Amino acid sequence: MPRLDLHLHSVHSDGTKPPGWVVQQAAANGAELVALTDHDTLAGVADAQSAGRDGGIDVIAGVEIGVNDPDLGELHVLGFFGESAPLADFEAQLAAYRSERESRAVRTVERLAELGLPVEYERVARLAAGASIGRPHIARALVEAGHVESVREAFDRFLRNDGPAYIARTLLSLRDSIALIHEAGGFASLAHPTRYAESEAASLAFAAAGGDGLEIYYRNDGAEEVANGHQLAKRLGLVPTVGSDFHGLHPDELRPGSVPIPEPAAKQLLEILRGLAR
């Protein structure tokens, strides 16, 4: 059965491992094509592709973008691109997103102080080490400061989307984010639909906005979730995609390249993604 992994994070956003390590792990687990999809940046793609050439695994450019729907709140869109994609304008838009992420991180640290959970923003920035700053960096700072015992606890108690320290972002709309990906010759997939409070509504909105794929084979989703998602994707004309959403933050995370996908779905994806390069 072919293996792909189209949802992977590295130290260039909120992951803990270098791009090369992520690609090597995916290859070791039998993946033949992966996408590095750091938040709002393509900075790790060149290193990932170099590791792919060394390890005999195809690596395409990817990104994960947070977007806003007025009825559903924050959703995440994955973009995948071919080797010849015109990404200069796209990268300029991502740079603006990264600036906004830093502003949000500052406001989150201020909110935590109000809650009696002080952490230093400078420490959060050092943990990010020049990468696109995200909530996992703040969660790690909370662990270091002794306010929580784990990154997972930091999210569960304070940083989740409805948590007391959550700060909403200024985001593109679904339609605008998909258009941005398409203008660069890319393929847009809705990330982890089962993780939204209104999963079907999110998928419907994504399809209506012109999206291409739906991340059906995701991390630890069970057989029933996969079957329901597959039926929904077929009804909406969306292509099933696959991803581990690896960050390296938790000891029990699935490793890169370890999410199974049926052979017909894998072949369809491979044909589409390899076609992006032409």
Helix H or strand E encompassing 56: none
pLDDT of residue 277: 58
State the chain's mean pLDDT as an integer.
93
Which segments of the chain belong to CATH 3.20.20.140?
3-94+170-275
- Segments of the chain scoring below 70 in pLDDT: 277-278
pLDDT of residue 122: 94
Distance CA 110, CA 105 (A): 9
Instruction: Give the pLDDT confidence of 124-134 residue by residue, as tens digits.
Output: 999 988 887 88
> Which value, to the nearest 10 degrees, does the dihedral of the CA atoms of residues 214, 217, 219, 220 take?
120
pLDDT of residue 6: 98
User: What CATH number does domain 3-94+170-275 carry, 3.20.20.140, 3.30.70.20, 3.40.718.10, 3.40.640.10?
Assistant: 3.20.20.140
Which segments of the chain belong to CATH 1.10.150.650?
101-159
Strands 73-81, 187-190: pairing is: antiparallel
Instruction: Give the pLDDT confidence of 3-13 residue by residue, as tens digits.
Output: 899 999 999 99
Judging by beta carbons within 10 Å of its beta carbon (0-12, 13-18, 19+), is residue 45 exposed, middle or buried?
Answer: buried
CATH number of 101-159: 1.10.150.650
